[in-house]
Structure 1
Amino acid sequence: MRIAMVAGEASGDLLAAHLIEALKQRYPDAEFVGIGGPRMCAAGFVSWWPAERLAVMGYVDVLRRLPELLGIRRQLLQRLKESPPDIFIGVDAPDFNLPVELKLRCSGVRTMHYVSPSIWAWRGHRVKGIGRAAEHVMCLFPFEPEIYRQHGIPATFVGHPLADVFPLEDQRATARELLQLEPDQEIVAVLPGSREGEVGRLAGTYVKTMRQLAFVRPDVHFLVPLITRATREMFEHALHAEGAGHLSVRLMFGHAHDAMAAADTVLVASGTATLEAALLKRSMVISYKVGKMTYRLAKWLSYLPWVGLPNILAREFVVPELLQDDATPEKLAAALLAWLEDPEARKHVAHRFEAMHLSLRQNNAEKAAAVVAGMLGRA
């Protein structure tokens, strides 16, 4: 048994590593090859190129590295066609993986795509292209398979891996003890994003929001987890520029989950962190800012009224979203204050998020392995 896979980002590396471990339970002698990261390699994967070679950020980086990426894809296809695997699984990274899947499928190799692109957020013109490339799509969200079925494309909901990892029980007391915070202290977690561009656009607005909120709630304490030294320096600069040195703020390297778990409510940039906050059963205010042209294009392409994953999963505005021109310090502070002043509302949204957590908790790796085994069985 020979299974080829490509994962190009840290999240895909983790997903694929768990899938490899689950598949090894079914196929102990299976060989796993392709492009993967350190977690996949630790699980027994043979990576022909390091996964970070596929990691690109933004259009400029894509254009600059396009010849290298096309060269890797061409060599990968050549190797896989010369020695065809029993199945190829593209793990996320659709811009790289879908063309690989299409060419392999045309040459007779069975193909799957793991993690649906966000067809539910943008106009669904990509669905048919995905269906031509992949025989089967494994989806992380329960509403996605129906979209594919409407186009005659086999798809299966396999659950979300974060839902398996995050505990169902409230972790507030544990997180506060870990971070040496008082049990009754009023705490707001502030997450301006992981990328420098995100933090650059949001840091000033978030610091002004913190000042506004602290004016009304002078005892509030802010936890601000940041991933890199560069993003930490950007946020520190914003604090200094806004004259916010008097605020009770703890800047943290990482520990985003601990910060959110310890908080009473969360101010968070739209992205995966919104799902993580929901799995931690935290009320939140979601915001985002992008360039004006990017925002206009996104509004034109989008056909959902929500951008935050908790609201998309609930199919309603469970938590507020303040985007672009609406993401003002005044409006953000008012939305956070509304959560702080209403413990019953926080309790209600926590119950909603608990039900959401249970719906996503499906023993993801084992369920995905069963779908792959079904494909191999049909072969």
Structure 2
Amino acid sequence: MTEDGACIAFVAGEPSGDLLAAPVIEALGRHVPPYRTAGVAGDRMIAAGCRAWHHVRELSVRGYVEVLSELPRLLWLRRRLAQRLRAGSCAALVGVDAPDFNLALETAVRRRGVPTIHYVSPSIWAWRAERIERIRRAADRILLVFPFEQAIYDRAGIAATYVGHPLASAIPMRPDRAAARRRLGYAAEQQLICLMPGSRRAEIECIAAAFFAAANRLTVSLPGARFLLPVADPGLQPLLQRIREHTCTPSASDRLALIGGRSHECLEACDGVLVASGTATLEAALYKRPMVIAYRVPMFSAWIMRRIGSYLPWVGLPNILAGEALVPELLQEQATGEALARQLLTVLEDASGQHRLEERFCALHEALRRDTPSLATEAILHTIAQARAR
């Protein structure tokens, strides 16, 4: 244990942050001397040894309208955390993604002498580039998961370390589709379509009905297909079941399995994916699976985003990282069940296109693959040492 007994605090804002932070927490626990960790944690972080002051579900809110409705509770939680995170009791704060929540928290505790690290750069390369000044005030160091981000921070004079993306190490370069199907109980020749409508309630309420409507149409076009929908949070199962009952035809419903967790096995086993924009699009790319990306938010949230504007023509990470439209994207009113089904059928019928896509995804995988837990741990401890030397 560290000499002063201080812990490193982690604050994850959503399930993808839980996934990112857990391997780093494990690495800090193996360090000599080991570091205690605590904070806002998800199930993976808790299993890795992080003591949960609050669960990640308490922060998992998406969209302007949704955040406004939860704002009083979120502000109360942020004040509570800021009071708890003080020099002497906290060796450092690592804010994991969730920039709208974490950057303000990091700024507050940094003023009190606590070293701050922000893990995952906000997408300043896509929109709201002015946030780099907020980042400068908030964080002593940024941990980057995409290689092209390093030059942005170098130009701005902000300390940053590229650590790779932990998913690129966790996911095999050559996925074993047959083995994944055996584990899930499906035959090697069974056609499987994976549906991934998001990991948050607001996402699911916006897009799941369109995914189920697409399954209705795909059932007709692909009569032998089965559909897998991995459910990230057991608390979302009743919501998905209600939408399924209201949307799916009996034939599609019979062929659709809601599977608790196991999203990586579902991606490894499947032939194609309908996926909501977010980290899951990167997961699908690392599993080398053809996909169609969908993105929907409430109308008012969409209006605000259009007013702010974007610097990039894509929302999906595979397209952003490639710098071109590798996979189809359907946004807002375009993301209907009919359009999603039609686009996925087009992708699945193009064998040569799938081969080219797999090659591009392999190159992407290689670029993102690093020893992320070790690199992140080194950067965190270096930042703490620098702060103590001042």
2:271 is the alignment partner of 1:264: yes
Is 1:291–2:295 an aligned residue pair?
A: no
Give how far 1:41 is off: 5.3
C-alpha displacement at 1:96, in angstroms?
Answer: 3.6
Q: Give the equivalent residue in structure 1 for 2:344.
A: 336
2:322 to 310, 314, 318: 314
Residues 7 and 37, structure 1, Cα contact 8 Å, conserved in 2: no
Say if 1:150 and 1:299 are closer, same or farther in 2 by CA, change over 3 A: farther
Q: Is the 8 A contact 1:13 1:40 kept in 2?
A: yes
Matched-pair contact (CA < 8 Å) for 2:27–2:373:
yes
From 154, 164, 168, the counterpart of 1:159: 164
* Alignment correspondent of 1:327: 335
Say which SS state the counterpart of residue 163 (structure 1) adopts.
helix
Q: Does structure 1 conserve the Cα–Cα contact (< 8 Å) formed by 2:116 and 2:140?
A: yes
CA offsets 1:280-319 (integer angstroms, 9 cap, x no match)? 1100011122222222322333221110111111111110
Q: What is the number of residues matched between the two proteins?
A: 373
* Shift in CA distance, 35/342, structure 1 to aligned 2, threshold 3 Å: closer
Q: Aligned residue for 1:362?
A: 370
String of CA shifts for 1:118-143, please: whole Å, max 9, x gaps. 22332211111111111210011212
Q: Deviations over 1:256-277 (max 9, x none)?
A: 2222222211111112211111
Structure 2: state its 5+ residue gaps: none
Structure 2 contact 8–35 (Cα < 8 Å) conserved:
no
Change (3 A) 1:33 1:233: closer
Q: What does residue range 89-238 of structure 1 map to in structure 2 within 5 Å?
A: 89-227=94-232, 228-238=236-246
The Cα shift of 1:278 comes to 0.8
Q: CA deviation at 1:44?
A: 5.1
- Stretch moving more, 88-97 or 337-346: 88-97
Partner residue, 2:310: 302
Q: Deviation string for 1:205-243 (max 9, x for gaps)?
A: 223323333333333332233343223313322345xx3
Provide the rounded CA distance (Å) in 1 between the counterparts of 2:89 and 2:376: 22
Unaligned residue ranges in structure 1 (runs of 5+): none
Q: Secondary structure at the match of 2:218?
A: helix
Contact 2:328 2:343 in 1 (8 A): yes
Partner of 1:351: 359
Output the CA distance in 1 between the equivalents of 2:289 and 2:225: 17
What's the TM-score, normalizing by structure 1? Answer: 0.87
Cα distance between partner residues in 2 of 1:257 and 1:373: 31
Contact 1:207 1:244 in 2 (8 A): no
User: 1:5 and 2:9 equivalent?
Assistant: yes
Q: 1:261 to 1:46 in 2, by over 3 A?
A: closer
Is contact 2:28-2:34 (8 Å) kept? no
Whether 1:23 aligns to 2:28 is: yes
CA displacement at 1:55 relative to structure 2: 2.1
Mapped contact 2:12–2:21 kept (Cα < 8 A): no
Question: What letter corresponds to residue 148 of structure 1 in structure 2?
Answer: Y
Shift of 1:202: 2.5
Question: Per-residue CA shift, 1:331-372, capped at 9, x if unaligned?
Answer: 322211112212221122112112211211111110111222
- Partners of 1:54 and 1:193 in 2: CA distance: 17
Letter in 2 for 1:273: A
Q: Secondary structure at the match of 1:294?
A: helix
Farther-moved stretch of structure 1 (191-200 vs 333-342): 191-200
Give CA deviations for 1:10-62 in whole Å, capped at 9, x if unaligned.
44445444323323444415454555456555555555x33448525332453
Q: Aligned in 2, Cα 1:104/1:331: closer, same or farther, shift over 3 Å?
A: closer
Judged with a 3 Å threshold, the aligned counterparts in structure 2 of structure 1 residues 376 and 207 are, in CA distance, closer, same or farther, namely closer
Please provide the CA RMSD for this pair: 2.7
Aligned to 2:59: 55
Residues 50 and 123 (structure 1), Cα distance of their counterparts in 2 relative to 1, 3 Å cut:
closer
Q: Per the alignment, in what secondary structure is the counterpart of residue 150 of structure 1? A: helix
TM normalised by structure 2 equals: 0.85
Cα–Cα, structure 1 residues 27 and 376, in superposed 2: closer, same or farther, change >3 Å?
A: farther
Looking at structure 2, the residues matched to 54 and 239 of structure 1 have their Cα atoms a distance apart, in angstroms, of: 29
Give the equivalent residue in structure 2 for 1:76: 84
Residue 59 of structure 2 contacts residue 74 of structure 2 at CA under 8 Å; is this kept in 1? no
Q: Describe the SS at the equivalent of 2:130.
A: helix
Distance 1:221 1:104, change over 3 A: closer
